[in-house]
Copies of this chain bind each other. A is one copy, B any other.
Amino acid sequence: MQTFLEHSKEASRVIATLDPKTKCDVLLAMADALEKSSERIIHENQNDLVEGEKNGLSAALMDRLLLNPKRIAEMAKAIREIAALKEPVGRVLEGWVVPSGLRIEKVSIPIGVVAIIYESRPNVTSDTAALCFKSGNACVLKGGKEAHHSNTIIATILQEVLEAYGLPKAIISLLPDASREGVAKLIKMDKYVDVIIPRGGEALIRYVSENATIPVVKHDKGVCHTFVDKDANLEQAIAIVLNAKCQRPSACNALETLLVHKAIASTFLPPMKEALDAAGAQMKGCEHTQALLHVSLASDEDYHTEHLRNALNIKIVADVDEAIAHIARYGSSHSEAILSENYTTAERFLNEVDAASVYVNASTRFTDGGEFGFGAEVGISTNKLHARGPMGINDLTTYKFKVYGKGQIRT
């Protein structure tokens, strides 16, 4: 593995300083190559589907695995969109002159070698490779073994384009040893890999976080809250809560616990429940909620749970302080919302709730790179450091200080 990663590291130096025009050209050529190679891709994808069938994958997983001309065209389109993004490297983030006369610029640069661990959907292979390429990084990709043939042919096609442009293949590569042991080795290779992004189940993320010597950008769970304040526009609140829970219940930015100010609970909750019932949501509630609605009791564990399905907890709170305290205790610092027309209450919530994204009067479902205007999304980070919340392509860069002198020495 060391030799393999040495090649990634060397390749990262080549891609780091490639000019923006060539990067665009290569990406567009990659998009074309994928479309032209539809038959090769579908052929290899068939092997994954046959094995998936044999291994009894669920219908949902089989669908995630499937590639057809339409999906391949979407992969190509995604690459073209990434090619069109504003150049992420070389942005002057800050610039100033110090008393010694040195002129200092803080400039964005690629991170180096980015390792990404992910599952099932083969389009992640081309998306991620294109995002890393555009941001000047070499990437080491470790997809799910169920998509092995599909990922391999996609990576091979991208590498063919790299070679046609005289670039090292190692700019984009699949981890050769995709076993558990391979991953265990990879996450200790801090000499070669600069950041590792695990995308997958909680167990994988925990395993990588606990064992990596490389910095990890986590995509952890989302236990998101919406607090309906006593000064909320209640009609609006019903629409927002419904959207936050039911529009896509399995998303990490979906609502898990609805917090309701006691002063409006009896007015708000019955029509809210009616709307949630109509959308097929399952509800549990605190004792005070039970006095108003026919729901079973929510346990402490329920408040800690990311349901990933159309289910939520309802808790009546005394005031914004209790709402903030509940979120501090049970929240995962992902996305939290207050619905209120009261300026001071909204400000307090925005400032005192510690989460990557805090909302006033909107659905938490907007926590998303696309909705935030980042173009392509790298993921949603639950880190506190480096990147927090929705990650755009700029989050695949770090920075250096360029210092321009005229002979200065330190005295």
Contact = CB atoms under 8 A, between A and B. Distances in A.
Contacts of A233: 407
Nearest to A210: B213
Contact of A384 (B17, B100, B194, B373): B194
A98 B361 contact: no
A274 interface: no
B407 A384 contact: no
Interface string A90-125: 000000101110101000010110000000000000
Contact of A239 (B98, B403, B404, B409): B409
A362 interface: yes
B359 A111 contact: no
**Copies held by the complex:** 2
Contact of A361 (B16, B247, B361, B406): B406
- In this complex, the member of A247, A328, A360, A365 whose beta carbon has the largest number of chain B beta carbons within 10 angstroms is A360
A247 B362 CA distance: 58
Given A16-B354, A215-B385, A100 B408 contact: no
Interface residues on A, range: 35 or more
Contacts of A411: 247
B239 A111 contact: no
A405 B363 CA distance: 9
B17 A352 contact: yes
A378 interface: no
A13 B389 contact: no
B354 A13 contact: yes
Given A362-B404, A389-B400, 6 more contacts: A96-B373, A247-B410, A357-B400, A361-B407, A371-B410, A372-B401
Interface of A: 13, 16-17, 96, 98-100, 102, 104, 109, 111-112, 190, 194-195, 209-210, 213, 215, 233, 236, 239-240, 242-244, 247, 328, 350-352, 354-363, 365-366, 371-373, 383-386, 388-390, 398-411
In the A-B complex, the 9 residue pairs with the closest CB atoms = A362-B405, A243-B409, A365-B410, A385-B386, A361-B405, A362-B408, A236-B407, A98-B373, A359-B403
